[in-house]
Structure 1
Amino acid sequence: MLTTTIEDLHADVLGCALRRLDGRSLAAASCATAALRALATDPETWRALCLAEWPSLALLAAQPQRRQLLAALPPQRLFADAHPFPSADADTGCVLGGGDGLLPLPVPAGELLVSAVDVYYRGAPLLSRVVETPASSSWFLASPFRVEALERKKPAPATEAAAAAAPSPAELELSWVVVDPARGRAVNVSSRRPVAVDRHWYTGETLARFAVVLGGCKFEATVACSEGAAGWHAISEVTLAVEDADGAAVSGEGTLRLLAAAMEAPRKGGESEPEEAKRRYLEFVKRKKGRKESKARREALVDLCCSAASAVVVLTCLAAVALR
């Protein structure tokens, strides 16, 4: 009796089937047999997977003058870097000193950072942007780090599909992949799902916040949504900023060090990672609040001591004048 195995299928048929798998299933298939491993490690298969996962990369690959930015990063490496979350072990290599400023670590060599930004609603892409940030100028290194993927004073008119979907900010998903072409590494600095949704006190816009804590600092991507007359929400702004545990903005130099550490850190995948990212975000907010309250108590104590010392000096002067 003849037995038929999956390897009896033509290689083209197997390759077509493998291209329909997700990253985890494709990696598992490569461990089955040598033949499947050869097919599953095909760069074109992983390239198609990356383009399907991040539509923004398709925009980058479609432009010949920008295509070389990803040439140094093989598709399989890109997926392995950008799909899983940076592990909590990334926090053990803090590159920012508490209160002492930057530790004397070398600034990673790289003249450009590429941000591939994708916003999804219920799995369907709503917005894709690619942002190139020059990272070698003294202005960038010394200024607070901030990347704007979308900035509009007024939201764009909604399409019929967007108006029919009426996307809720709480249901949005965000992927923000930062690529360092010089190092050939990447990292996803978004929590994928919102860790907090609130309303801006001045503009009235709804803000969906996506944050990960790396190296003791918070990478926070904010998606601002404006509500239209029909009830739909239009995305009006998408930005990324970094702040430390004291709530101060991290400079471009400090961010480069944080990104370098995160890119080299181990990755950890799993369905529970968005919840883990939210838990670490809430811990960061609680820790920042505690540090702020402690600083306020210290300042109040210093003010009290200064007031007491001033009162003693005044009383001493008055006593000296009275006894003269």
Structure 2
Amino acid sequence: MMEHLKCDLKCLSRDILADIMARLDGSTLASAACTCSDLRGIARNQRLWKQLCNSTWPSTALDEAQHLISSSTDGFRRFYADSYPLISNDHKDANNYFPIQPTLISPSNFALFIDVYYREKCITSSVLDGIPMETDFGQDDDTTTGLMSWVLNCPFKVVPSDINDEDIEDGDDGHDFVSLVGKADDRCNELKEGIRLSWVLLDKKRGKAGNLSSWKPLSVKKIWASNGDYIIHFGCIIPVQESLQLPHNLAKCLIVARCNIEEKRGYLRWKEVSMHIEDTSGAYVNGGKSLIILNQALYCSRSNNRHAVKKGYIQFEGRKQEIIRKKKLEETMADWLVHLRSMHIEDTSGAYVNGGKSLIILNQALYCSRSNNRHAVKKGYIQFEGRKQEIIRKKKLEETMADWLCISFEVPMDLGTYIGLNWVRHTYWRRGYPF
């Protein structure tokens, strides 16, 4: 029955169909390609997908981006399919779906496509062919190897140099200034609703891409110590393989954007965008592991559900705070033990109490009676010292009596000690001291 169905769109010319499909968004265009062979053929036209990519990510329309995308098979169509959905945190990815990792991942294998939007208008775009740090390597092979080793073992951070207005003069609005409406002491909510960021990573050799950004801000904070500076966080949570030995087998790709709002002129000045990788303890991941994580991110699950992406970020931050809390508790305990070494607990014989009993005594001290009478506290201390001195005096008397018996009557030490002890006890009993 299905074989005899005919496509009613065949009566339209191919040019008209192509013009209609050029007006569709990516998901609708992909759905239309599944209806009949004619639409499928038109939907595979790279010109349509290039136009769609250019409108979604203006960075792909830059001259330096053309050869990076078009060089791979189904370049723009595959780029859109990989980059439009966001990376989601799925633990099943960590050990089941990642391909075999290459023995060496070079920073030059990747390209970055960065686009910043405000109120659905692109305000700045940038393309980076390779990780920027690699451009600092010299010509000498030994020097290059040494620098590469240093980069791979140091904390990893990417800072595109062309997304920066620090050198723009005050009288120049620049290309990435945006007019703001009204005046406010805190623009966090306005920036959270208006700012969008895309950070697409492309593996040039395999043609695989992925969007490392959360699209919407994950957090916006005002730096109150500065004059109108704001820090905006984007990013994604990447499940990683156990071989990387990261806590919870998770990593956070954090994109930090910094901007300044000039309230007098009503402008937003974009200052810097940077990216780095963190584990759940908040520590920066080094360059070698970061490159592996970025490569794994290209093969993670995708989702168009922005709430699911935000939920994964919240769960990651919860684990991070738990680790930080435990670490602070350990540091507090360590500090307490250090201070404990300068404090000790004695019994009435003057002997130090061991650590286990000391902890029990300190805990019991929290539940003892209290008094604002300083003299009563001092009186208790004097009574304790009196008992302590009495015990020490009795002990010395026992030792003196034992020594006298041993020397005078050649009594064995054990017997002398026994006689001396009983003599002292008998003497104190006659004086009314209980034993």
Q: TM-score, normalised by structure 1?
A: 0.81
Q: Which residue of structure 1 lines up, in the alignment, with residue 52 of structure 2?
A: 49
User: How do 1:67-216 residues align onto structure 2 when only pairs under 5 Å count?
Assistant: 67-70=66-69, 71-72=71-72, 74-89=75-90, 92-93=93-94, 107=103, 109-110=105-106, 111-134=108-131, 137-149=148-160, 150-153=163-166, 157-158=172-173, 162-164=177-179, 166=181, 168-170=190-192, 171-204=194-227, 205-215=229-239, 216=250
Kindly state the Cα deviation for residue 223 of structure 1 after the two structures are TM-superposed: 2.0
CA contact (8 A) 2:113 2:199 kept: yes
CA contact (8 A) 2:113 2:127 kept: yes
User: How many Å separate the matches in 1 of 2:37 and 2:235?
Assistant: 40
Percent of aligned pairs sharing the same letter: 28
- Paired residue total: 303
Q: TM-score, normalised by structure 2?
A: 0.62
Instruction: Name the amino acid aligned to 1:173.
Output: R
Kindly state the Cα deviation for residue 27 of structure 1 after the two structures are TM-superposed: 0.5
Secondary structure, counterpart of 1:176 in structure 2: strand
Instruction: Name the amino acid aligned to 2:49.
Output: W
Q: Which runs of 5+ in 1 are unaligned?
A: 96-103
User: How many Å separate the matches in 1 of 2:68 and 2:101?
Assistant: 26
User: How do 1:12-27 residues align onto structure 2 when only pairs under 5 Å count?
Assistant: 12-27=15-30
CA contact (8 A) 1:155 1:226 kept: no
Higher RCO structure, 1 or 2 (CA under 8 Å, sep 6+): 1
Kindly state the Cα deviation for residue 276 of structure 1 after the two structures are TM-superposed: 2.3
The structure with more strand, counted as a fraction of residues: 1
Q: Could you list the per-position Cα deviations for residues 44-80 of structure 1 after superposition, in whole angstroms to 9, with x for gaps in the alignment?
A: 2112211221111111xx24xx643321261111111
* CA 1:92–1:163: 2 relative to 1, 3 Å: closer
Instruction: Name the amino acid aligned to 2:237.
Output: V
Q: Which residue of structure 2 lines up, in the alignment, with residue 283 of structure 1?
A: 315
Instruction: Name the amino acid aligned to 1:207.
Output: I
User: How many Å separate the matches in 1 of 2:77 and 2:332?
Assistant: 55
User: How many Å separate the matches in 1 of 2:197 and 2:78?
Assistant: 21
User: How many Å separate the matches in 2 of 1:115 and 1:220?
Assistant: 15
CA contact (8 A) 1:117 1:176 kept: yes
* CA 1:234–1:39: 2 relative to 1, 3 Å: same
CA contact (8 A) 1:117 1:175 kept: yes
Q: Which residue of structure 2 lines up, in the alignment, with residue 29 of structure 1?
A: 32
Kindly state the Cα deviation for residue 83 of structure 1 after the two structures are TM-superposed: 0.8
User: How many Å separate the matches in 2 of 1:90 and 1:124?
Assistant: 35
User: How many Å separate the matches in 2 of 1:226 and 1:274?
Assistant: 27
CA contact (8 A) 1:90 1:265 kept: no
Kindly state the Cα deviation for residue 91 of structure 1 after the two structures are TM-superposed: 6.7
**1:293 counterpart = 2:345:** no
CA contact (8 A) 1:169 1:233 kept: no
Instruction: Name the amino acid aligned to 1:184.
Output: G
CA contact (8 A) 2:89 2:312 kept: no
Query: Which segment drifts farther, 244-253 or 128-137?
Result: 128-137
* CA 1:91–1:236: 2 relative to 1, 3 Å: farther
User: How many Å separate the matches in 2 of 1:302 and 1:161?
Assistant: 50
CA contact (8 A) 2:124 2:175 kept: no
Instruction: Name the amino acid aligned to 1:143.
Output: C
